[in-house]
Amino acid sequence: MTESPDPALVRRITIKLAITSFLIQAASLYSSEFFNSVFNNRYDSLGLDLVGRLPMVFKPTVFFVFLAAYVLQLAVMLITLRPMFEYLKKGQGYDAARGAAVKLPWRIVLIQTSVWIIGTTGYFAMLGWHTESGIPYSISIALKLGTGLIGALFICVIANIHLLPAKRALAIVDIRQGESDQFARLKSLLIIFASAWLFATHCVYLCFYFINHPASSAAAPYPQLIAWFLWFTLLSLGLGLASRFEHDTQMRFLKGHISRLLDARLGEGGDERVQLLYFDDVGEFAALFNRFMDKFRALIDEIVASALVLSDAVQDLSTSMKEVSSTSNMQAAAVKEVVSTMEDSNTITQSIGKSIPEVARIAVKTRENVDTGQGMVTEMAGKMNEIRKKNTDTISGIRSLTDKIRAIWEIVDIINAIVEQTRIIAFNAALEASTAGEAGKNFRIVAGEIKLLADSTNQSTTEIQSRITEIQKAANSLIVVSEEGTERIRQGYELSDNLSSIFSEILDSAEVSATSSESIGHSIRQQAGAFEQTLLTLKEISRGIDNLVLTQQQTSRTAEALNSMAGKLRSQASQFAVGAGPGQKDDQIGEGVGHVG
């Protein structure tokens, strides 16, 4: 990527393209016209010399066609190169600028051949397909295509040479997808084809010329024929040399950059990647070289980092060896203390192992007692449940008795009504007996007895009502007391149930304790065995420490040798130290690096 915009470079390239395009297009057109005028049977029959034929070469119609073709081609070239020029002037649109030069050659060839075909066809059509030179249309169009194609290739090659400074300013270092320059890859074949086409079409025209050459005319212009052959040879040779110069320029640029990489220390403020001038085979090689340099850079960085790590590790190892050597004797003393401690621990472990069976026996006894208590609680809960059912039945019977007492109340009410009726009847009978006088005396006595009976019955029913009321109050009190008793029974039942759950948990804990006691006893026995094995191992360690001291001395000497090797490796790697160029991104390694700034 260019560091700063360069409008002056754009102006220089534009002027060069305009001048060279004009000169090459004019030379190709008027050389063809001059050839047609020199080798022309009609002009020969008219006896025109070379000066007399010059007006036929520079016809106004041909000039205007040439001028229109030149303006059109220059406009297409500038439009095609606009992204590149915009980037060089403003520093914007880098991606579009990269591919502008790739599209230019094909458009030049297309414009040139199209203009030659259209111009020649239009010229013949204007003259009724019979020109003043007498050349057939087929031969003329073949001649113009050959001359136009060779001229177009000349313009493409020269334009690419003019664009080299712009491509250097783009600083392209990779080939992206779709950027393959097929014109550059096929350029040699196109030049050979165009040269062959040019010679073949002009040979066909000369055959036509000599076959139809009138006998009365002057002798055929053999000197001009030789001169024209030399001209075409120089034209083809010049195109080949220009193409070779273009290729050599790219190769010199590539070789110069690689030479600088070999002669200078890399990574000191510059970019070691090779710039691409074309997206052809050479450019593809340069892009592959850049990808190799990216991987090589990563490899060297890893080597340098590994050398530094190795050096640091060796130094740390050497220091550690000294520390380990000084602590080896301390470890030997510590091992003896550990042996003594392990013997004490073994004694304690054996004592614990003897106590574990008693703990297991107590846990089993606890489990049996809890199991018995849980059975008693379950039985008590069943009895309380039966009491609760009996109490519920008693409450139901009291409530049934209360309902029957209410029925007695109804009967007493009926008796009271009868008593009232009886009183009324007795009163009426007494009134009638009084009216009857002496005759109703006995009747009055009977009426009085009936009234006494009614009063007596009334007193009895009142007494009955009082007793029923007392019975109802007693029944209600009994219901309340019975319900309270039922609630107490329910609470007692729930308490028994909770107590049963607690006993179940205690039973589970007792079972776990019994099982754990057995497991602990087994573990203690295993631990005792492990302690004995550990004692043997510690004795082996004590003997191994003596061997370790000897090994550490040997390791210290090896560490010194490794430190010397790491220094040499770091010195060798520093000769190839590479660094990322400005603007490079780490994620471009291995996939073709993007443009650089």
Retrieve residue 336's tokens.
């003896």
Q: What are 276's strand-pairing partners? A: 172
Retrieve residue 231's tokens.
């001209």
pLDDT of residue 69: 86
Alpha-carbon distance of 545 to 473, in angstroms, equals 101
Residues in the chain: 597
Alpha-carbon distance of 232 to 255, in angstroms, equals 34
Contacts of 287-292 with CB under 8 Å at 24 or more apart are 287/173, 287/174, 287/175, 287/592, 289/258, 290/173, 290/174, 290/592, 290/593, 291/174, 291/590, 291/591, 291/592, 291/593
Alpha-carbon distance of 20 to 152, in angstroms, equals 11
Retrieve residue 311's tokens.
């050096």
Class of domain 303-574 (CATH, top level): mainly alpha
Retrieve residue 275's tokens.
């710039």
For every residue of 365-434, which 3-state class applies, written as one string?
HHHHHHHHHHHHHHHHHHHHHHHHHHHHHHHHHHHHHHHHHHHHHHHHHHHHHHHHHHHHHHHHHHHHHH
* Whether pTM exceeds 0.95: no
DSSP code string of 35-79: HHHHS-HHHHHTT--HHHHHHHHT-HHHHHHHHHHHHHHHHHHHH
Retrieve residue 466's tokens.
């009082």
pLDDT of residue 591: 37
Interval 255-286: pLDDT, tens: 877 777 766 554 454 556 777 777 777 777 77
Which of 301, 297, 277 has its CA nearest to residue 287?
277
Classify 358 as helix, strand or coil: helix
Retrieve residue 365's tokens.
């006894």
Contact predicate 156/110, CB 8 Å = no
Residues (pLDDT < 50) of the chain are: 1-2, 266-267, 269, 578-597
- Give span(s): CATH 1.10.287, the chain: 303-574
Contact predicate 77/20, CB 8 Å = no
Alpha-carbon distance of 115 to 151, in angstroms, equals 12
